[in-house]
Structure formats: C-alpha cells, structure tokens
A and B are shown apart, each in its own frame.
Chain A
C-alpha cells in the first residue's frame, strides 16, 4: 500500500520562508509531485521530482531524497495569495497512478 504523510496545518508570515515536508512509503516510485489548491478550486501543478536534489522554479523549490522517502516544498517571499492547501503526491503503478497525501493547509498572515 501507499502511505504519504504531511503536516495538516502551517502558519507563516508574509515575506517569510516556509518549508512543507512530505514523507512517503510506497510500493514502486516513479516520481513525486507537488500541487497547490485554493479553497473551492481545482489543484494546480507546482513541481515534479524524480531524482535526488533540489528543483527551483521562481519562488518555489522542491527537494527529494529517494533513499529517505522524503520531500519538501520551499516557498520564499511568502505572499497572502500563497494561502492554500499544498498536496504531495507520489506516482506509482508503472507511472499510471498518482496517490495524494491529505494536504497541508498553509495560512499566510500579515
């Protein structure tokens, strides 16, 4: 089976940096995705990692350690609009199935 863990909630200050962690135990691994979901909206794709290391994309970066079953999403220069749920998802099943964690609700405060 698949097990993906993320903190339920986090709070951070506008302009700061926040790191959202994700640990996973899966049978088979074809990569890890991060999605952002604002309340009442569909999830939108942020990043993909399959090799160990850091992928940077503007204010957002994502890190992966396959040996540790661990990833994090780093958000810099936080803005109020970054208040959303952040979903970690692991690709398995020969690359056909994307299994999601329960998401981390991030609240950005002034």
Chain B
C-alpha cells in the first residue's frame, strides 16, 4: 500500500459545473500524477507534479487544471465539466528519489460521470 487516497471514489455531476478531485499521499513522495482511463484509449496523462507548486502538462491537459500547495495533496479541477470528461481518474505517486526505475503506484481511482 503506497498510502494513496483518492476522493471522492464516485461522483455524478452536470455539464458546466466545476469539479475537484483530490489525491492525498502519506509518504512524502515528490512526484504525483493524474491520469484518465477510457476504453480504447488506455491510461492518458493529464498533469503531473514534481514538487510543491511545480506542475507540468501531460498529453490531455485541455479542460483540466491542477494545484499542489503542499506535498501530500494534488488536486485536479475540471473548471466546467463536459460529457467528454466522463472517465475513471487515477492518481499515482512515484517512489524513490527520481530514479528511472521507480515505478508509479496508483490510487484506487475516481469514477466521474458528467450528465
């Protein structure tokens, strides 16, 4: 158990509303990631963070923003949710001190439905 908690686990929201997903870790890891997983597309990187207030975009960052004001929390915000953002969202942390062979460990996911 890499000490990752995602909240909420399930959420249904309406188009146009803002949504924030939270990822919390207990082990002080530097790197944190947000992915979405959709049938036929696999896991796609949205944003990642390499430290407090240090973030970068992934391949599908449009429509999403992130914030990391403290080491343990990485927030993903959908400013105005759209039906195309219906997905399963996974947070991940990376163990180790930035060594290449450090694997990502994933949280249990948040299932988001935008109606």
| Chain A interface (Cβ < 8 Å from any Cβ of B) | 2, 30-31, 33, 41-45, 48, 50, 87, 89, 91, 95-103
Contacts and interface: CB of A to CB of B under 8 A. Distances in A.
Nearest to B59: A99
15 contacts: A2-B59, A30-B100, A33-B103, A45-B103, A48-B103, A50-B100, A89-B43, A91-B100, A95-B98, A96-B48, A99-B45, A100-B35, A100-B42, A102-B40, A103-B42
A97 B100 contact: no
Nearest to A31: B100
Contacts of B106: 42-44
Nearest to A91: B100
Given A50-B100, A91-B100, A96 B43 contact: no
Contacts, number: 50
What band does the interface of chain B fall in when counting residues whose beta carbon is under 8 Å from A?
20 to 34
